[in-house]
Homo-oligomer: A and B are copies of this chain.
Amino acid sequence: MKRIEGGVTAPKGFTATGIAAGIKKSGKDMAMLYSPAACRVAGTFTTNLVKAAPVKWDQCIVKGLPLEAGLAAVAGAAASGKAYNGAASEKAYDGAAAGGMNGSPDRTAHVVVVNSGVANACTGAEGFGYCRDTAATAAELFGIRENQVLVASTGVIGQQIPIDKICAGIETMKPLLSESTASGTLAAEAIMTTDTVKKEIAVEEEIGGKTVTIGGMCKGSGMIHPNMCTMLSFITTDASISQELLQKALSASVPDTYNMVSVDGDTSTNDTCLVLANGLAGNPEITEEGEDYQLFFEALNEVNTCLAKRMAADGEGATALFEVKIIGAESKEQAVTISKSVVTSSLVKAAIYGHDANWGRILCAMGYSGASFDPEAVDLYFESAAGKIKIIENGVSTGYSEEEATRILSESAVTAIADIKMGSAEATAWGCDLTYDYVKINADYRS
């Protein structure tokens, strides 16, 4: 596997662009991805009960359902006035899928339209209608079907999107689409909200004698505590792979990558991760879990890991990437539970901001995680580019040098490693420090 320059336009046959469509007060706010070749598509979405309209729209496309299923999911609940039954709604999807659409060759996409001004969440049937209007506009322009247009939004919750600006933006973007690296970067910039840096990556892997490329871009950087997926992440690849294995690879990668990130413990209504594969690399189609699948999975996982870490490092107001590694665990699940508890603790995050080796807060957050372990057996280390230091051994202080610890914690990426000495499972979670600027950004967000 090799890192290469670029992002979503790195794989063959993908074009992109980003513009200022006037949805935000200033700056770029719309992006578009387009592959003339039809793409297989896989996706993971927020587990929040409150799902934005574009999430419902894209779920229909990824699951091969009629778009009416998404509308029914919105209107049915509201009209009935009864308890929303998430399980029943999922079943409605399943029923439609069993009815013949699932696995259909029609289940492909060409276009992704993104706006970063308005989330289109909590907008009812009207909001879902705007997804359809967005897709219809793009479908007509590109001569494709509505259900080949994926839609994503991020921004303020509860406002209706300015659909005229969105449709005008699509027309503006079409002639600007290009395969250049710079165009991919424009798209990565246009999906940013409170992000301070664009996040894109591309890797190459030799699969079946052909060079397969995977590119990606994502955005954070608040309301980030992905549960099944991240805020918005778009991955492109020219790999030839069946839809089933594409979804399988994505679903296998997400729990260890995006789902291990937390900026503020808030699981967004809009979390969406989409992978588009147009098959132009010419590798023999990956249809089973052999060596080719493994190579593809590892490349995809590398892209997701990298994007997830960059999202954590660019958390709202953050000055440092904070990595928490639990080792010596009895099970992966136990290590995940403990590492996420530490990485989401406001007190730990504030201590990291202060470069303060306040390890008691780390042990405290491990203790209330809900996982069982022996606090009196824990060893804890801090590590960064400036070195590594053992802070506690068997639950009590080693008498380490505070000066040395502060030096290590003053880097822009710091890691806490806790060995709980119960087994050989481990997990790593990523977050960031808690700063004045997080508060400033979020107290003033809408004004």
Complex: how many Å from CA A159 to CA B272?
45
Please judge, given known A-B contacts A122-B392, A396-B122, A397-B158, whether A376 and B436 are in contact too, CB under 8 Å. Answer: no
Which among A9-17, A146-154, A366-374 touches the partner chain?
A: A366-374
Q: A133: CB under 8 A from chain B?
A: no
Interface residues of A in 359-388 (CB under 8 A from B): 359-361, 363-368, 372-377
Please judge, given known A-B contacts A368-B48, A372-B86, A395-B124, whether A377 and B445 are in contact too, CB under 8 Å. Answer: no
Interface of A is mostly: loop
Give chain B nearest CB distance to A252 CB in angstroms.
Answer: 23
Question: Which residues of chain B are near A364, meaning CB under 8 Å?
Answer: 48, 50, 121, 157, 223, 266-269
Please judge, given known A-B contacts A74-B376, A124-B396, A158-B396, whether A353 and B86 are in contact too, CB under 8 Å. Answer: no
Please judge, given known A-B contacts A266-B361, A396-B122, A440-B436, whether A375 and B157 are in contact too, CB under 8 Å. Answer: no
Complex: how many Å from CA A365 to CA B269?
9
Contact A434 B445 (CB under 8 A): no
Q: A358: CB under 8 A from chain B?
A: yes
Q: A419: CB under 8 A from chain B?
A: no
Contact A157 B354 (CB under 8 A): no
Shortest Cβ distance from A369 into B: residue: B49
Contact B421 A347 (CB under 8 A): no
Q: A81: CB under 8 A from chain B?
A: yes
Give chain B nearest CB distance to A196 CB in angstroms.
Answer: 18
Question: Which residues of chain B are near A359, meaning CB under 8 Å?
Answer: 157-158
Q: A182: CB under 8 A from chain B?
A: no
Question: Which residues of chain B are near A444, meaning CB under 8 Å?
Answer: 354, 356
Shortest Cβ distance from A347 into B: residue: B266
Shortest Cβ distance from A434 into B: residue: B439
Residue of B85, B119, B264, B347 touching A347 (CB-CB under 8 A): B264
Give chain B nearest CB distance to A40 CB in angstroms.
Answer: 30
Residue of B49, B121, B440 touching A360 (CB-CB under 8 A): B121
Contact A421 B266 (CB under 8 A): no
Contact A83 B372 (CB under 8 A): yes
Q: A137: CB under 8 A from chain B?
A: no
Q: A113: CB under 8 A from chain B?
A: no
Contact A122 B374 (CB under 8 A): no
Complex: how many Å from CA A30 to CA B78?
57
Contact B422 A83 (CB under 8 A): yes
Give chain B nearest CB distance to A86 CB in angstroms.
Answer: 6
Contact A373 B84 (CB under 8 A): yes
Please judge, given known A-B contacts A361-B266, A368-B227, whether A439 and B350 are in contact too, CB under 8 Å. Answer: yes
Complex: how many Å from CA A395 to CA B128?
14
Question: Which residues of chain B are near A366, meaning CB under 8 Å?
Answer: 49-50
Q: A74-B376, A84-B372, A350-B438 are in contact. List 16 more A-B contacts (CB 8 A).
A: A49-B373, A51-B367, A77-B377, A78-B394, A82-B374, A84-B373, A86-B372, A122-B363, A157-B358, A157-B360, A159-B397, A222-B347, A223-B364, A346-B438, A350-B445, A356-B443
15 A-B contact pairs sorted by A residue (CB < 8 Å): A49-B366, A49-B372, A49-B375, A50-B367, A78-B395, A81-B377, A84-B375, A157-B358, A227-B368, A266-B368, A353-B443, A354-B443, A356-B446, A436-B439, A438-B439
